[in-house]
Amino acid sequence: MIDTSEGSGETSGRPLMTYTFIVSCCLIFVLGPASGLNPEYGTGGELLQAQSAYFERWGVVPSALWSGGPGQPLTPLTALFVHGNWLHLLGNMLFLYVFGAMTEERMGRVQFALFYLATGYLALLGYAAAHADSGQTLVGASGAISGVLGAFLWLFPRARVTSLFPFLFFLPLRFPAWVVLVFWVALQWLAAREADDHPGVAYLAHLVGFTLGFLYAWARFGRTARVGGAARSSEGESQP
């Protein structure tokens, strides 16, 4: 759930692009082999082979990306709409719903859509550059959503979010959004350092996306579009 009550400032109406990205990701996932719901891909070993081929086709494989093969430059874009499993999908879509709606209303639909796609593309590209020899397939909207989080932090510095923390028995606690997001960035940075020799979870893409999103909002809007009143939203415990 999300309450978008906020201070003064113009908005663009319903967050159409946020909903469009969410629906697109969900449909692609359900129809693809990762969901296990489409009988076209079979079961057991056949399904696993279909999933592997699907991820390699539409995901980012750093070593293949830099080889300049046909269609490879598009994979950082197509990978944004592909997810590895139900938890991966639902966690990403939850964060996109909570933080994307308010960010889109502040930016406007067209600008938000371009921002989301460009940030996600560059985040995955940055990860691929750092792991140029890796054959690990990378999929998911995490880089783009991290960009949304970065922009949200600049645009809504006084927002408050209700978070559920597993290590506190899932008690709902309210914190300023900047506290939650800075804590999230710190976790990503620590995880990225630990994962340097074992690429897989794209913590580096998260950091690149977040930084790009924050810098874009700062450069594009300055202080003029920041919400002065306390906006309120809610989020779950999952991270993109």
Phi, psi of 83 (to 5 degrees): -130, 150
Average pLDDT, the chain: 79
CA distance 36 to 18: 25
Residues forming the active site: 142, 206
CA distance 124 to 179: 26
Given CA atoms 37, 40, 44, 48 in this order, what sign does their dihedral have?
Answer: negative
Contact 145, 95 (CB under 8 A): yes
- Provide the strand spans (E) within 54-146: none
Residues 48-77, mean pLDDT to the nearest whole number: 90
Task: Tell me the three state secondary structure of residue 171.
Answer: strand
Contact 137, 53 (CB under 8 A): no
Phi, psi of 81 (to 5 degrees): -110, 10
Task: List, for residues 162-194, the tens digit of each pLDDT value.
Answer: 655 444 444 455 667 767 677 666 666 665 555
Task: List, for residues 134-165, the tens digit of each pLDDT value.
Answer: 888 899 898 999 999 999 989 988 787 665 54
The residue to which tokens 């450069």 are assigned = 219
CA distance 240 to 180: 14
Task: List, for residues 94-145, the tens digit of each pLDDT value.
Answer: 889 888 999 999 999 999 999 999 999 999 999 999 888 888 889 989 899 9
Its pTM stands at: 0.80
CA distance 184 to 211: 13
